[in-house]
């Protein structure tokens, strides 16, 4: 999630409210002000540290596919067609029926077996390319800032304590990871990540049509809007955008 911009405290507070703090009163938000400011000021190194910790905690909570499993071998094939990113990527499969995938700013990529059951390797590659796009374009850094601010506003990080990153407990890191995974990107960010994936597939000579068919499969899950990606724009509209790029030769 990269646009390496700094959020002003009021803006970050509003984003945090939209991400899950709608029931919080203004006194609580004021108390959390110090931690929100800290979230808005997170450096690249801070975000990497939080991503390292959050990914490790998520790995503890989930069952990772064995190295010799079909899922792991399939993911290795998927990732082999996603070179030229310039990013250090660490991809693994979580064994769960949920249809999801995500990537953090440190290059941690996690794909759920439910998604792989639904899609072909080419389609999974398109989805993973989209998630990598959020990292390459800076969206994941912004999302981690929001997740940190949201957890602080909820009191999960100790609103008045302004804890250092190294002082966070496992439960705090777990809460932060959940906030990150449940965050939604803006329409502009989603569209930019779609285009990044399309361009990455082009560079690698991969199947670009599979990105459109992946969106159509996601649309079939919930009547036209993806339960995995942001619903703005909906999955069908995103598929049509990819079709238009294919037709236009761009």
Residues labelled catalytic: 131
CA distance 23 to 80: 45
Q: Can you name the residues that pair with 108 across neighbouring β-strands? A: 90
DSSP characters for 204-244? TT--SHHHHHHHHHHHHHTTTS-SSS-SSS-HHHHHHHHHH
Residue tagged 């792991």 (tokens):
72
Contact yes or no for 145/7 (Cβ under 8 A) = yes
Bond preceding residue 233 cis, omega within 30 of 0: yes
DSSP characters for 79-127? HHT-----S--EEEEE--S---EEE-TTSEEEEEHHHHHHS-HHHHHHH
Nearest to 117 by CA among 167, 52, 168, 65: 65
CA distance 210 to 70: 21
Provide the pairing of β-strand 101-103 with 108-112.
Answer: antiparallel
CA distance 165 to 158: 12
CA distance 241 to 52: 34
């Amino acid at each position: 999630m990269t646009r390496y911009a700094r959020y002003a405290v009021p803006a970050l507070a509003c984003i945090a409210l939209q991400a899950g703090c709608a029931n919080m009163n203004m006194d609580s938000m004021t108390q959390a002000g110090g931690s929100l400011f800290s979230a808005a000021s997170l450096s690249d190194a801070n975000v990497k540290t939080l991503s390292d910790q959050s990914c490790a905690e998520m790995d503890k909570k989930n069952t990772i596919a064995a190295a010799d499993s079909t899922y792991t071998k399939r993911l290795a094939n998927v990732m082999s067609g996603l070179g030229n990113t310039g990013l250090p990527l660490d991809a693994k499969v979580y064994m769960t029926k949920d249809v999801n995938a995500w990537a953090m700013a440190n290059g941690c990529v996690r794909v759920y077996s439910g998604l792989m059951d639904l899609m072909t390797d080419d389609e999974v590659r398109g989805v993973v390319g989209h998630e990598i796009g959020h990292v390459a374009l800076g969206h994941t850094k912004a999302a981690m800032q929001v997740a940190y601010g949201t957890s602080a506003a909820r009191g999960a990080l100790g609103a008045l304590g302004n804890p250092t990153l190294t002082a966070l407990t496992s439960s705090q890191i777990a809460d932060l990871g959940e906030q990150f995974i449940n965050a939604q990107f803006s329409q502009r960010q989603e569209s930019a990540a779609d285009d990044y994936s399309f361009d990455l597939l082009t560079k690698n000579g991969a199947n670009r049509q599979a990105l459109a068919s992946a969106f159509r499969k996601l649309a079939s899950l919930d009547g036209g809007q993806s339960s995995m990606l942001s619903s703005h724009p909906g999955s069908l509209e995103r598929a049509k955008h990819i079709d238009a790029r294919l037709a236009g030769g761009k």
